[in-house]
């Protein structure tokens, strides 16, 4: 029985840091990350992800950041939030999670609870993480240590649906641990906690949430492909269809990020390993992966029609993050638009007030232009629906355009009469 909660959050990214701050309102918390630079910046009150203020980081007496492994000793609750990306062949890359689990196992003591929050395919916690913990800790599940899984549902950049008001799904290796984990999360989650009967159920729930969204967006993206051939405005069709009470008004667009564009591959990997070859799950990925080329091809067709010289043209991409109002460029599909354009046009600039100039160059070797020239560009692709873009309005972007030019409103944030192209 844990008499005193000593919590360590392992991984301080978009998931771990909000979790650490939330728990620090109730408990003493260690925020751990192997990235020394990340830890140093947080200790100085700087969040490179621009999610939290200096005050929330520096003036928090219950929260300590560290990259020193020995600081993991003497904790009794470990919450692992390691990333679960894809390999180049779109197979799951569990190495960050495996390494984080090893690290915890080497430093945990008897009767500790290990909770995985990383997005995984069903079975990962019990089939991969638990054996690692048993091997490196020399402890036995449900005898000398306990395990749980609670999928993250954090939405970066979302100021309304924060960690506090999103229902938390929890699971555990036995009933008593489930009660303890439920109580733990109930202490910070205002929206409530939903306990599941098994760890696999919780793992599956998370991975299908994003897969469902991927498929729904893929459907309207495919409609956009079709309606473009038929010379029908997709947005007008969706508005008309939305007058029916049960129509789900998903919008076409680029579908990237660390979850929606990744999780279907995790699910299909496990499916095939289990002997079932899925028919629908990856069909959405196939469609959504084709959107960037479709956007560029549609623009090139328009340019030829309007006698805009493609080869000599200068293009501005507005918005580079994978979603609106955040700084996250992980798996952003905008980079594919950038690459397609680069092959054909003279110059491609990127403008995004949310993105770190240094980080964008470090990750993608792309120079961020925060001061685009007026009357300079032949075309602008508004790829992300940042609130600031909506606030500035279409006139702001038209200032950067030549007389003979176009605006491709990928996210349909402006009025039809004010733009030239949309999905």
Active site residues: 259
Task: Please calculate the CA angle 216-293-302 and round it to the nearest 5 degrees.
Answer: 110
Task: Report the SS3 class of residue 66.
Answer: strand
Quick check: 411 and 382 in contact, CB under 8 A? yes
Alpha helices in 231-356 (DSSP H): 234-241, 263-273, 281-288, 291-305, 334-342
Measured CA to CA, the distance from residue 380 to residue 423 in angstroms comes to 14
Exposed e or buried b per residue across 236-270, where buried means at least 16 C-beta atoms within 10 angstroms of its C-beta: eebeeeeeeeeeeebbbbbbbbbbbbbbbbbbbeb
Measured CA to CA, the distance from residue 130 to residue 140 in angstroms comes to 9
Residues in the chain: 423
Measured CA to CA, the distance from residue 169 to residue 194 in angstroms comes to 5
| Residue 114 φ/ψ, nearest 5 degrees | -115, 125
| Residue 245 φ/ψ, nearest 5 degrees | -60, -30
Closest CA to 328 of 396, 261, 407, 412: 261
Report the relative pairing of strands 193-195 and 168-172 from DSSP bridges: parallel
Measured CA to CA, the distance from residue 267 to residue 271 in angstroms comes to 6
């Amino acid at each position: 029985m844990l008499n005193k909660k000593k919590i360590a959050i392992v991984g301080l990214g978009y998931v771990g840091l909000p979790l650490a701050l939330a728990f620090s309102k109730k408990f003493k918390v260690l925020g751990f990350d192997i990235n020394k630079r990340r830890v140093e910046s947080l200790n100085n009150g700087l969040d490179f992800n621009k999610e939290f203020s200096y005050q929330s980081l520096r003036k928090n007496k219950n929260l300590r950041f560290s990259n020193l492994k020995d600081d993991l000793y003497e904790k009794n609750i470990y919450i692992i939030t390691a990333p679960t990306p894809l390999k180049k062949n779109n197979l799951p890359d569990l190495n960050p999670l495996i390494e984080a689990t090893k690290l915890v196992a080497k430093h945990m003591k008897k009767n500790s609870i290990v909770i995985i929050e990383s997005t995984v395919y069903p079975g990962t916690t019990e089939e991969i993480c638990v054996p690692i913990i048993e091997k490196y800790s020399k402890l036995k599940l449900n005898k000398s240590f306990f395990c749980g899984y609670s999928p993250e549902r954090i939405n970066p950049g979302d100021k309304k649906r924060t960690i506090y008001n999103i229902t938390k799904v929890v699971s555990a290796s036995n009933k008593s641990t489930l009660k303890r984990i439920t109580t733990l999360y109930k202490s910070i989650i205002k929206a409530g906690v939903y306990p599941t009967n098994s760890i696999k159920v919780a793992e599956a729930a998370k991975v299908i949430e994003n897969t469902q969204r991927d498929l729904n967006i893929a459907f309207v993206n495919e409609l956009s492909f079709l309606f473009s051939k038929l010379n029908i405005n997709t947005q007008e069709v969706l508005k008309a269809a939305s007058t029916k009470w049960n129509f789900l008004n998903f919008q076409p667009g680029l579908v990237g990020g660390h979850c929606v564009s990744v999780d279907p591959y995790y699910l299909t990997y496990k499916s095939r390993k289990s002997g079932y070859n899925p028919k629908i799950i990856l069909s959405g990925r196939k469609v959504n992966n084709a959107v960037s080329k479709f956007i560029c091809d549609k623009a090139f067709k328009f340019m030829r029609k309007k006698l805009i010289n493609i080869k000599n043209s200068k293009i501005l991409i507005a918005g580079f993050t994978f979603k609106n109002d955040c700084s996250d460029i992980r798996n952003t599909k905008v980079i594919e638009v950038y690459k397609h354009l680069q092959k054909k046009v003279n110059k491609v600039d990127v403008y995004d007030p949310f993105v770190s100039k240094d980080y964008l160059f470090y990750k993608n070797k792309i120079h961020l232009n925060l001061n685009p020239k007026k009357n300079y560009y032949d075309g602008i692709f508004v790829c992300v629906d940042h609130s600031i873009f909506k606030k500035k309005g279409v006139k702001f972007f038209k200032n950067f355009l030549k007389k003979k030019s176009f605006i491709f409103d990928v996210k349909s944030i402006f009025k039809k009469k004010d733009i030239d192209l949309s999905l």
